[in-house]
Amino acid sequence: MSEAVYPVGIVGGGFGALLTHTALRYLGFESREIVVLGDQPDPVATYRAFAWGLGQTVLRSESESHFLPADWPTFAVMDLLARRRLSAVRRSISRTFNPAVPDILAEAHAVAELTGYAQSFARCRVGEVIRGEGRAGPHFGLYDEEGRLRARARHVLLAMGHGPLAFPGVLGTARRDPALAARIVQAYEPKRYRPGGRYVVVGSGIAGVNEWVNVLLAGAECIALRRTPEPDEQDLNVPRCLFEAYGIDAYQRLDHAQRLQILAKVLKGTTPERRGWQELIAEGYRKGTFREVIGEITEVRSGPEGLVVDIRLGAGGTTGPLHVVGVSCATGFDKASASVPILRRLIERYDPPMEGPRIALDSNCGVPPLDRPDSRLAMIGIHANIVVPNGDTIAGLKYIARRFAADVLRAEGRRRRPFLARTRMHFRCTRRAVADIRALPDTPQLS
């Protein structure tokens, strides 16, 4: 380990890390001044695995969800440039264009390559972040899981993505039982539905609806189980107004308890309104291959089909023993900060203020009491959505990444990269992304 202190360190190597690296490079830092410590060299690997597990082909979000250093061109314009057609631009005017997953991944790769992400990256599973002072000035030591110091950096962004997948109630216990585990999967995990088989899908968020459709498309039967009677009709995890700067500012003025209340309301039970999906589900209703049940699984055991489950119904009573092949949980991730080892250690060592199970970040996503203007420690992604409600979407990640990069530039007393150099960087990324997208097969829109 060298004695050097990097100006910036990023812990985690996913979308948040890539967007922050891009923002820092665009503003003026060189790749050698940034260290990204992650366990995956490919910044799209984690998201891609979840998206494949879910069968996602187009983003839920819209044309602005892209990885280029500057805001324009949006994805609809990139599609126009790559495929020489107007349909995406036309759709984006009525906000019904959703970028294709292969296209955004190609763009992310192009940006990573041209901004020198690999030169900043070092493979490491970070176990602990510790405040350091002394001759090197205020900084953070970044230690791997074996306790070895791997890098030191003045400003650190924690970008580790989601905590572990959540399995509610008895399903959590059943998942730990080797005899049952293989039959209880998460929506984000790879899986195959058997034609003619019967499956329970728990959860009615976007991932849940996606699984209903995957079950029906496989020619299987779906029991859609949810705890609340009425899901909202939203196309994204949070209402559109909260995606805009005004919404974020208004949200940031609330105290933590009020923020949590809003999050609990808007992040749960949302379902997208997709024409293709609705038709399939309507057909499932007609043919008796799709049923909705409000209640909770109270018992799980092995059975001839795979599992036998019992559901306590919201309206009273139980279903009695139901023979099913498996259960898919579209119940998301454990959002408690302590479910992520590095955050658990940070809580134990520094005792940051908490809001329920989550670290109560400052409104600039700083981690109190460690964050300070001359040596920032901030968080991005799902653990920052207590401050930025869409912190786990590409738009929200970008919002946090850019503000963090600007703070670091200011703290380091650095000048911005000159306008022409920035523009050249941006257009090289755009040109390359367009060429790479052009080489990809077209992905149909769903709505």
Count the Cβ atoms, other than its own, within 10 Å of residue 275: 9
Instruction: Enumerate the β-bridge partners of residue 429.
Output: none
Shortest CB 392 distance to ligand FAD, Å:
5
By beta-carbon proximity to ligand FAD, the closer residue of 162 and 274 is 162
Q: How far apart are the C-alpha atoms of 403 and 146, rounded to whole Å? A: 32
By beta-carbon proximity to ligand FAD, the closer residue of 59 and 324 is 59
Task: Compute the CA torsion angle 251, 345, 36, 138 (nearest 10 deg).
Answer: 90
Contact pick of 107, 211, 296, 392 for ligand FAD (by CB under 6 A):
392
Residue 377 found at the interface with ligand FAD (CB under 6 A) = no
Contact pick of 54, 300, 386, 387 for ligand FAD (by CB under 6 A):
54
- For the window 2-31, what string marks contact with ligand FAD as x by the rule CB under 6 A? ---------xxxxxxx--------------
Shortest CB 299 distance to ligand FAD, Å:
29
- For the window 130-169, what string marks contact with ligand FAD as x by the rule CB under 6 A? -----------------------------xxxx-------
- Contact between 26 and 357 under an 8 Å Cβ cutoff? The reply is no
Tokens of residue 220, six digits: 């299987």
Q: How far apart are the C-alpha atoms of 7 and 33, rounded to whole Å? A: 6
Give how many residues touch ligand FAD by CB under 6 A.
Answer: 35
Residue 40 found at the interface with ligand FAD (CB under 6 A) = yes
By beta-carbon proximity to ligand FAD, the closer residue of 103 and 392 is 392
By beta-carbon proximity to ligand FAD, the closer residue of 188 and 193 is 188
Shortest CB 187 distance to ligand FAD, Å:
8
Residue 74 found at the interface with ligand FAD (CB under 6 A) = no
Tokens of residue 407, six digits: 């703070």
Residue 364: DSSP 8-state: T
Q: How far apart are the C-alpha atoms of 370 and 130, rounded to whole Å? A: 9
Shortest CB 175 distance to ligand FAD, Å:
19
- Contact between 301 and 310 under an 8 Å Cβ cutoff? The reply is no
Chain length of the chain:
447
Contact pick of 83, 125, 227, 268 for ligand FAD (by CB under 6 A):
125
By beta-carbon proximity to ligand FAD, the closer residue of 324 and 437 is 437
Instruction: Enumerate the β-bridge partners of residue 270.
Output: 232
Shortest CB 316 distance to ligand FAD, Å:
35
Q: How far apart are the C-alpha atoms of 71 and 426, rounded to whole Å? A: 10
Pick the piece of the chain touching ligand FAD (CB under 6 A) from 52-60, 85-93, 238-246, 308-316: 52-60
Q: Which of 98, 96, 109 is nearest to 41 (CA)?
A: 109
By beta-carbon proximity to ligand FAD, the closer residue of 17 and 110 is 17
Helix (H) or strand (E) holding 302: strand 290-302
Burial of 278 (C-beta count, 10 Å sphere; 0-12/13-18/19+): middle
By beta-carbon proximity to ligand FAD, the closer residue of 141 and 381 is 381
Bond preceding residue 444 cis, omega within 30 of 0: no
Q: Name the residues that contact ligand FAD, by CB under 6 A.
A: 11-17, 37-40, 46-47, 50-51, 54, 56, 59-61, 65, 125-126, 159-162, 188, 342, 381, 392-395, 397
